[in-house]
Structures are given as structure tokens and as C-alpha cells.
Structure 1
């Protein structure tokens, strides 16, 4: 399984490392990775998708081989949506495409999935363990009023968001990790041995903190009403240590064509159960293939 690599320039002069996989004549599928990963996290899934799709993956800004912005505001959701637009316009030109994303890739992809200009361009969206921050804010406000136990349950799971706001400590902590140490953490979380290693974990973890600093406080304090422009499938990871499955309850309010599947896995199911994740992405995309 080989990929073609290229560089895509963004609207603010960053450079994104983009890979394409498979036959360009097949339906297009764009994959967006989360934090603290890079696009390599998708490779076990891609192995199970390449026979059906022309796949596009890329290192988001600050991750993998892509360039690292100097300013925190360069990680804002609006710019991340423009990055996706730059990638698909460069690689796919005017073609429509399916979209699947995990963790922070999912959070940032919601910005595009709820933009009117992507109506008809994004054919379907599979979100894995990454809610829209605006939707999450409305959900948390409602839970605080009516079901405080659920509110505090998610707040406890989100302890790392507060830690990532610390200017010196948070980035420095990632210097303690190498691929093997991080691999042991993932093995324990997923209860699976021999998961693929991220050789760039120290840098991916350090630079990706900008995603949290640029977006969480503005979005959670001033949420916007964001409605999806395409069918959405939520792959719910029932043992997710970082995102409560209850957050998914908010999605149908904002998605006209909504589907949900539950997977008995922890946060990194893209590594521990790639065949199953690929199956869910593929079946949903094929159902909405224009």
C-alpha cells in the first residue's frame, strides 16, 4: 500500500503534507486525524478502505510533516476549515467527497460540515469521538441546569483541557514522551498490544496544544447555532475515557439525517479496531454516494 505525497499551501501561508491513496476514479474519502496524532494514525483503517475509495489524508497544521504556526490564533476553527478547503480544492478540484474524522480532526471538521458552502460538496460525514464544540456547549449548559451529574462527569473527563491552557508546563510535559512510552499508554487504554507507534509524538503533542488554546474558551463561552449540511454518522466509543457518549445525544438536534453506531472500544479505536471502524465508514459513505 503506497501513497502519493504532495504539499498544499493554506490561505495563511502554512504548508500541509497531503497523501492520496488508491484509484482516483473511485469515490473520494477525506480522513482527518486527531490529537496528539498525525495522519499515520489512519493507515490501519486505510488498508481496509482502499479497495473502495480514493483516500485523501493530511497532517493538520502543527502535526506530522506540516508546518507549525507561530501564533495560537492560527489554530482557530475557521482557519482549520479553510485548510480542509485548500486540501480538497487542490487534490480533488471540484469533486464531492465523503469525510471521516477522529478526535480533534472530528471537532475541527464540524466547522466545515456546518458551513453552507460545503452543502453538496461533503456527501457524508462520519464523526468519531469529537463533538462540535458549539453543540457540546449547548449540551453542557442544559445538563448543568437539569442533570448536573452528567455535566460533572464530562467535566471530569475533560481535565486535560484545563491543563493544556498552562503556557509552559503543558508543552514541556510532551518532551517526556517518546514513541515507546506513548505506545504503552495506548496499549493500556485500548487493552491491545502492539499498536502502531507515533515516532513524532513529542512534537505532535507539544504543537497541537494550540488547538485547545485557540478554540475551547471562545466556543464554550459563546456557542453558535450550527446545523449540518450533510448526513452525519456518529461512531460512539462506549469506553471512551475522554468523551462521554452522552454528548452524542445533542447531535440529532443539529443534524437532519443522523445515524449512530456504538462500538465497544476506547478512544483510539482507529488503531485497536481498524477493520470495524473502516466498515462503519464505508457502509455509511456508500449509502450516501450521491
Structure 2
């Protein structure tokens, strides 16, 4: 697989590295990576989907070969949504597209999926292990009142979010990670060996922390009512060590008119450990909506 490489200028003058894969005449599919990854994490999935879609990937700001903003505020959800729009406009023009995203890629693209201007532009959305922060905040508010034990359980599972808000220490920790050390962690989580390595892991981890710092407190303290503008499929990872299925199965149907979900027996990085299964679900859901 040899992609074409593009440089996309954002509305605030950042530079994003984007790639396109496959036949331009196929239905368009945009894939957005999570944290602490870059667009290379999608390559096992791309190899499964390249015959069916014209695939667009990009390094989110602060990751991979994209530029690194100076300020935490530059990572806000509204700006990340504008980044997706800039990529789509430059590469796809006015073409509608399907969307799939993982982890923080999913969290940030909920901002676009729930934005009325993307209605009929985003044809379908497959979300993998990344809830809308506003939806998650409403669920937590309900549980702290009615099911405090469930609330505390979710907090304990998301300990890393608080850790990422610690000044200086949290970013510095990433300087000790090599691709091999991070690879061992992924192999252990996914119970598989020789998963693809992230050669940018130190910088991706260090700068991507700003995604958390720019968005979590605002979303949790002042959640908005955000309704999906397209059909949504959730890939629920049954052994996910970081994201509770409750965010998807309990809360998401309240905000999505056309909602489906599938279950995969994998941990958080199923896009690496079970790429064929995940790709099959993306393909089936997107093509069914393409026909519609």
C-alpha cells in the first residue's frame, strides 16, 4: 500500500499531515486515530478496506507528522472539528463521506457527528471506544445521584484522566517510553504478540495530553445536549480497560436516532489486535448506509 501524502492547513494555521489510500471513485471513508497514536495505527484496518473505499487518514494536531500547537486551548473540540472539516474539504471537496474513529479520535469526531452542518455530509459513523464527552457527563451526573457505586467504579477505571492533568510530570513520563516498551504494554493488553509499533510514541504521548486538558473539565462541568446527525454504529470492546461499555449501551441511544452496536472480545486497541473483525463491521455498516 502506497498512499498519497497531503498537507492540510487548518483554520488557525496549523499543518496536518494527511494520506489518501485506494481508488478515488470508491465511497469515501475518513479514519481518525486516538491517543497516544497517529494515523499509522489504521494501517492494519486500511489493508482490509482498501478495495472497498477511498480512505482518508490524518495525523491529529500534535501527533505524528502534524504540527504541534503552542497552547492547550488549541486542542479544544470545536477546533478539532474544524480540522476534520478542513481535511474533508481539501481532499474530498463537497463529497459526503463515512467516518470511523477510535479512542480520542472518536471523542473528538462526536463534535462533528453532532453538528447540524454535517448532516448529510457524514453518511455513517462507527465509533470505537470513545464516547461523546457531553453524553458521558450526563451519564455520570445521573449515576452520582442514583447509583454512586457505579459512578465510583467508572472513576477508578479512568484514573489516567486525572493523572494527565498533573503539570510537568505527566508529559515528562512519556520521554521514558520507547516504541518497544509501548509495544510490550499493547501486547499484554491485547493478549497478542508483535503488534505494530508506534515510532512516534514519546512525542504523541507528550503532546496529546493536551486533548484531555483542553476538554474534560469543561465538558464534565457544563455538558451540552448533542444529538447525532447520522446513523451511528458502536463497536463495543468487551475487555476495554479504559472505557466502560455503559457510556455506549446506557447513554448513547438517548442521543442517536439510528443506533446499532456490535461486540468484540478485545481490549482497547482492537484496531490492532482484531483488524479484520473491526474492518468487517466498518464495511458492513458503511456500505449498508451507502445503499440507503
Same fold (TM over 0.5): yes
Aligned to 2:118: 118
- The C-alpha deviation readout for 1:112-150, integer Å capped at 9, x for no partner, is 000000000000000000000000000011111111222
Aligned to 1:85: 85
Name the count of aligned residue pairs.
290
Q: Does 1:256 align with 2:240?
A: no
Distance 2:161 2:236 in 1: 21
- The C-alpha deviation readout for 1:222-261, integer Å capped at 9, x for no partner, is 0000000000000000000000011111000000000010
RMSD (Å) for aligned C-alpha atoms: 0.5
Distance 1:176 1:149 in 2: 35
Distance 2:149 2:171 in 1: 31
- The C-alpha deviation readout for 1:197-243, integer Å capped at 9, x for no partner, is 00000000000000000000000110000000000000000000000
Q: Does 1:66 align with 2:66?
A: yes
Aligned to 2:286: 285
TM value normalised by structure 1: 0.99
Distance 2:160 2:102 in 1: 17
Aligned to 1:34: 34
Distance 2:286 2:149 in 1: 36
Gaps of 5+ in 2: none
Aligned to 1:157: 157
TM value normalised by structure 2: 0.99
Gaps of 5+ in 1: none
- The C-alpha deviation readout for 1:54-95, integer Å capped at 9, x for no partner, is 000000000000000000000000000000000000000000
Aligned to 1:56: 56
Aligned to 2:129: 129
Distance 1:239 1:149 in 2: 20
Aligned to 1:102: 102
Distance 1:98 1:250 in 2: 23
Q: Give the 4+ runs in structure 1 shifted more than 6 A.
A: none
Aligned to 2:275: 274
- In the TM superposition, residue 33 of structure 1 has moved relative to its aligned partner by 0.1
Distance 2:271 2:39 in 1: 11
Query: Per the alignment, in what secondary structure is the counterpart of residue 48 of structure 2?
Result: coil
Aligned to 1:22: 22
Distance 2:234 2:142 in 1: 21
Distance 1:153 1:96 in 2: 40
Distance 2:153 2:272 in 1: 26
Distance 1:152 1:50 in 2: 42
